[in-house]
Structure 1
Amino acid sequence: MEVRASAVEDVKALGPIMQRAYTEFNLSVGIPPSVDFETVEIAEEILHRIFLSPKSCGITALDKASGRPIGAAFLHFVGESLQQIGPVFVDPAHSKKGVGKAIMSALIERANATNAKSISLVQIAANTKSFSLYAKLGFRPIECVTYFQGSMNEKLCTWEIKNEEFKVWPMEDSDVRLCSELHRSVFGHERETDIHEMFNVFPADAWVAVKDDILQAYTTGFSFEGHSIAISEVAFAALFQGVCHQKPNHSMSIYIPARIYPFLIEWALKGGLQIIRQCWVMAIGQHQTPLPGSIWLPNILG
Structure 2
Amino acid sequence: MGTELIRAELAHPQVYSVVAELDGRVVGSNFLDERSSVVGVGPLTIDPAVQNRGVGRRLMQDVLERATERAAPGIRLMQSGYHTRSFSLYASMGFEFRETVACMQGPAMSREVPGYTVREATEADLGRCDELCRQVHGFDRGGEVADSLGQGTARVVEHQGRITGYATDLAFFAHAVAETNPSLQALIASAPSFGGPGILVPASNSALLQWGLANGLKVVQLLSLMTTGLYNEPAGAYLPSILF
Whether the TM-score (by the shorter chain) exceeds 0.5 is yes
Of the three residues 111, 134, 142, the one matched with 2:90 is: 134
CA contact (8 A) 1:208 1:217 kept: yes
CA contact (8 A) 2:120 2:155 kept: yes
Find out whether 1:290 has 2:234 as its counterpart.
yes
The structure in which a higher percent of residues are helix is 1
- Residue 55 of structure 1 corresponds to 14
CA contact (8 A) 2:168 2:175 kept: yes
Q: Which runs of 5+ in 1 are unaligned?
A: 1-41
Q: Give the CA deviation at 1:258.
A: 1.0
- Residue 206 of structure 2 corresponds to 262
Question: Following the alignment from structure 1 to structure 2, what is the Cα–Cα distance between the partners of residues 46 and 198?
Answer: 15
Question: What per-residue deviation string (whole Å, max 9, x for no partner) do you get for residues 71-111 of structure 1?
Answer: 0010011323x111010000112212111111111111111
- Residue 279 of structure 1 corresponds to 223
Find out whether 1:235 has 2:183 as its counterpart.
yes
CA contact (8 A) 1:154 1:271 kept: no
Q: Which runs of 5+ in 2 are unaligned?
A: none
Give the counterpart letter for 1:298 in structure 2.
Answer: P
* Structure possessing the higher relative contact order (Cα contacts under 8 Å, 6 or more residues apart): 2
Q: Secondary structure at the match of 1:296?
A: strand
Question: Which structure is larger by alpha-carbon Rg, 1 or 2?
Answer: 1
- Residue 301 of structure 1 corresponds to 243
TM-score (norm 2): 0.94
- Residue 108 of structure 1 corresponds to 64
- Residue 14 of structure 1 corresponds to none
Question: What per-residue deviation string (whole Å, max 9, x for no partner) do you get for residues 201-232 of structure 1?
Answer: x31x3211112321011110111110000110
Give the counterpart letter for 2:83 in structure 1.
Answer: N
- Residue 39 of structure 2 corresponds to 83
- Residue 189 of structure 1 corresponds to 139
- Residue 18 of structure 1 corresponds to none
Question: Following the alignment from structure 2 to structure 1, what is the Cα–Cα distance between the partners of residues 135 and 50?
Answer: 44
Of the three residues 111, 127, 133, the one matched with 1:177 is: 127
CA gap 1:224/1:251 in 2 versus in 1, 3 angstroms: closer
Question: Following the alignment from structure 1 to structure 2, what is the Cα–Cα distance between the partners of residues 199 and 101?
Answer: 35
Q: Give the CA deviation at 1:267.
A: 0.4
CA contact (8 A) 1:152 1:271 kept: no
- Identity across the alignment (%): 29
